[in-house]
Structure 1
């Protein structure tokens, strides 16, 4: 509290003058006395307390005196001061990774309260809020309204994806208006080396020094054996004390459990033998720790899809196209194309179709090609989700297979077919087309590999909010995503990449009459808790350290109210005369 204009204290003589005026003002009124015998008694009563009686019968006086006192107070300029943040504008970088859910209350909830407190101390200075992730997002920009800032903070949510703090800080740097901008980073831990070379900006890191208990499922995998399915759960005790836990594996009505105990910083592999051949499995660890997001992990029993066997007699461009997809390309002689590994085979040997091995047939060895001309017309199919063939030139085609589905034509002649068992047939040699010159060629090979080596009902493993191209095609072009029967969001084909849900778990992707399974898993970095600290780096040019709130506007409102009441009292007094 203070006053900005003490020189106006002399105005206090004005209410004193009013008081003196009322004390000594003479006022006469008619007084009827019934007898001279009572005259002395009446005078004694009036002279006993003349000043007090004057004051008691003058409401107008009180109102005028109160208004004058408030005027004097307003002229003194009363105000209150409170501490404000150093800097002229602020950027809040908010870590929304999964580890911010650790603790009770969570680190994220504590940071939300801290952000509100700092925003209140900003004193109306601009505040921007940026969330972390692969694509940092600006929640508010240069906001000065405290209510709007608090509402934005309340609406923040954990996205579960990796923080990507380095690129988020670089993004926040681009929002800084000048050297007086202070960037507040709200996270659990941040390496000082990330800010060591940033001398042109001021950073305030709000870390968490609390050491928590955590037992995480680091990895969970399944493999097929002669005795059934084998599962292995890798546990890591990321704590300073021994923890006991119950590991549970479940799929449908099947459930198996194992009790374990892990010492501090211990890793343990927990095997599960002779499991039934279900595809969707979930591992859960029941343990009393401070971080639940890494206590559950789902997986899918799918065939391997990272390698392909290519007939060495085919053109080298085919092998080059697969190598560009970072696949393990294995060349084999035509006579040795009977692998027992179950890997997809790329060849022109028609006799291998509809066998035990998935086949991508390019050309035919049992027929003669004929000339063709015209533009390629494609049907709705996942193989063409990202591979457009309209501009591809094809000079020769082979005769089609009877009973196969035709998904691409040239002048009414089948160009690409799909067998009843899922084999893919391209009825042309690479030498008879300019397809390898187009980006659609490796994209088609990628889609073909996904179709041949993977399970058509399984869309894949994703990290939270991961953007990825997927092979999805339906008549309506819309896919709805559900988790445990609850709607999550929709994906429209052709409107950008597919975006995975943020929360880990098993999801169903439903389009028309087709349903696919999608699994979202936490990144390995989000399964380790590390105690951090709070610190400051860089120096900001601060304009002021306190903010001043004046009481004068409120005093003026009170004076106006008193004047209104005084007028009403005066009006009523006139009417009663």
Structure 2
């Protein structure tokens, strides 16, 4: 970077150049000398006196060196300072990565921000930049302390694809990784009412836009059909035409078509029943130019039923449990290869990877109690369980390793254990012949919780429809190390698996493909964000920015040595030439 001279009066010293040059000119004027003989002057060169022949100008090298030394000393005396190395002005850019920054058919808030940054920040070579992409989570672009040229290349990674922008988290991140004197620029499309610190500038590049969006999409199972719900909202300050379709994405059948006038700041809700519970449902707004909130997907919500084995149960218990499990709608009885197996007594159990076991312990001399039972309501097995008021026959000496979930008088009635692979065994201390637990409301609720808990542990995502920004949790079989995720834009990511579980955050709206070996699943992410769809509050506000506020001299280094060192080297050369001088030779 070019230095800044803090003492410009020192440039008057350049007048010394004229004085030195004048000394040489007057000293070298010819004068008459009387000599006795010319015999020893035969080889002296005669200076040019004019004519048509061009001769080289004889400028003494010593004169040139002396002039250069004087120039360098004058520049050093002018107290040069420059921003160098770690003295570059620290600047942190917090870049709003939300989808609203990319809204618009032509010029967007992002494009306006990039043009401003290129002119006012990236063109200044005296800054060192830390760029933070503020999306669902703050993320550094590249590395900290980038030079302006590096930042210009990397800022293209700011795509504005996040479902929302947590600017406060980004500000906290800056306070942790940057020095207190860092100049912080928040680049967004909305103004703020926050009281900002002196080193923070809030730059907004938004412009109000009209928009029709899908703000709600939901699907749930109801008997033999699925119910779907959509909400369309006109966020404009004037009426707008809504043209939309809800279709079966598999066969293209139009389930609902909308063509109506929506008043300003009003909404339209659509509810419909879908008989094909395996169908993928898609809603599409056709009359709006902002794409990211014009679509919504609803995938099938019915997970795979839990396969259960009941072959080891007695003739009295088997029909009772089979009737309870099948009526829940979450189970299917199979002969082998089940997700969940029921046993009477723990002696018959053979461990199988991926299978849970439910053991009913029958006491030979049971004790019956009718009264309050201690229940851990925070456990998935016991959530929503009504108060236990039943005659419960149990073995007072029963004890196995695991977590007690229900107990009475210090005796465990229900215990859950987990092995090293994550497979679980549940022990129920119950003598069914002398109990009436199965005749109470506790019985169906408990087994519905059991099946739902086991269903959540089946391989695949725990649910299929998400809002953008939520975390997708995926269960995987033993031995799987990675889960391949393909985003709606086609980007592939390998997610590591820990204890048969993998998770990732869905940022981009659309359909995600999940792959693990031969297993494949789909999940849908919908924006469903009023904050990102309501663009009427976008504004432009660009306060004046002074990057080196306060004592700017602290960012500049004294660089007089840039000029003193060359001057000393030239002085050494000057003295060497004088010592090597020969008579009759012009230096």
Shorter-chain TM-score tier? 0.5 to 0.7
Change in 2 beyond 3 A, CA 1:119/1:487 = closer
**Contact 1:242–1:262 at 8 Å: present in 2 too?**
yes
SS in 2 for 1:57: coil
Which residue in 1 is equivalent to 2:35? none
Change in 2 beyond 3 A, CA 1:212/1:3 = same
Select which of 453, 475, 478 maps to 1:471.
Answer: 475
**Contact 1:458–1:516 at 8 Å: present in 2 too?**
no
Change in 2 beyond 3 A, CA 1:226/1:536 = same
How many residues end up aligned between the 2 structures?
458
Which residue in 2 is equivalent to 1:503? 508
**Contact 2:472–2:506 at 8 Å: present in 1 too?**
no
Structure 2 gap ranges (5+): 32-47, 305-318, 334-341, 359-378, 381-399, 405-416, 432-446
Which residue in 1 is equivalent to 2:20? 17
Select which of 522, 530, 539 maps to 1:517.
Answer: 522
Which residue in 2 is equivalent to 1:164? 166
Tell me the CA shift for residue 106 of structure 1: 3.0
Whether 1:448 aligns to 2:420 is no
Give the alignment of 1:51-450 within 5 angstroms: 57-58=57-58, 67=68, 70-71=71-72, 74-75=75-76, 77=78, 89-103=90-104, 104-115=106-117, 119-120=121-122, 124=126, 127-139=129-141, 143=145, 145-175=147-177, 177-178=179-180, 180-192=181-193, 195-196=194-195, 202-221=199-218, 233-250=230-247, 251-256=249-254, 258-269=258-269, 279-289=279-289, 291-303=290-302, 349-354=321-326, 357-359=329-331, 369-370=344-345, 372=347, 377=351, 379-380=353-354, 392=402, 428-429=427-428, 447-450=453-456
Tell me the CA shift for residue 505 of structure 1: 0.8
Change in 2 beyond 3 A, CA 1:177/1:451 = closer
Change in 2 beyond 3 A, CA 1:450/1:66 = same
Which residue in 2 is equivalent to 1:310? none
Which residue in 1 is equivalent to 2:550? 542
Change in 2 beyond 3 A, CA 1:475/1:166 = same
Change in 2 beyond 3 A, CA 1:15/1:285 = same
Tell me the CA shift for residue 535 of structure 1: 7.6
Structure 1 gap ranges (5+): 29-44, 306-346, 362-366, 395-407, 417-425, 433-440
TM-score by length of 1: 0.60
SS in 1 for 2:171: helix
Change in 2 beyond 3 A, CA 1:188/1:99 = same
Which residue in 2 is equivalent to 1:528? 534
**Contact 1:63–1:562 at 8 Å: present in 2 too?**
no
Q: Which range moves more in the overlay, 140-149 or 293-302?
A: 140-149
**Contact 2:236–2:264 at 8 Å: present in 1 too?**
yes
SS in 1 for 2:205: coil
**Contact 2:244–2:286 at 8 Å: present in 1 too?**
yes
Structure 1 Cα separation of the partners of residues 82 and 403 of structure 2: 77
Which residue in 2 is equivalent to 1:316? none
For residues 347-388 of structure 1, give each alpha carbon's deviation from its aligned partner in whole angstroms, at most 9, with x where no partner exists: 962334556822499xxxxx99335499x945136999x99x
Structure 1 Cα separation of the partners of residues 237 and 543 of structure 2: 28
Structure 1 Cα separation of the partners of residues 523 and 491 of structure 2: 14
Which residue in 2 is equivalent to 1:318? none
Change in 2 beyond 3 A, CA 1:213/1:235 = same
Tell me the CA shift for residue 167 of structure 1: 3.8
**Contact 2:209–2:236 at 8 Å: present in 1 too?**
yes
Q: CA RMSD in A?
A: 5.7
Tell me the CA shift for residue 174 of structure 1: 3.8
Tell me the CA shift for residue 518 of structure 1: 0.9
Structure 2 Cα separation of the partners of residues 25 and 123 of structure 1: 49
For residues 89-139 of structure 1, give each alpha carbon's deviation from its aligned partner in whole angstroms, at most 9, with x where no partner exists: 443333222222223443234434544555458774664433334543344
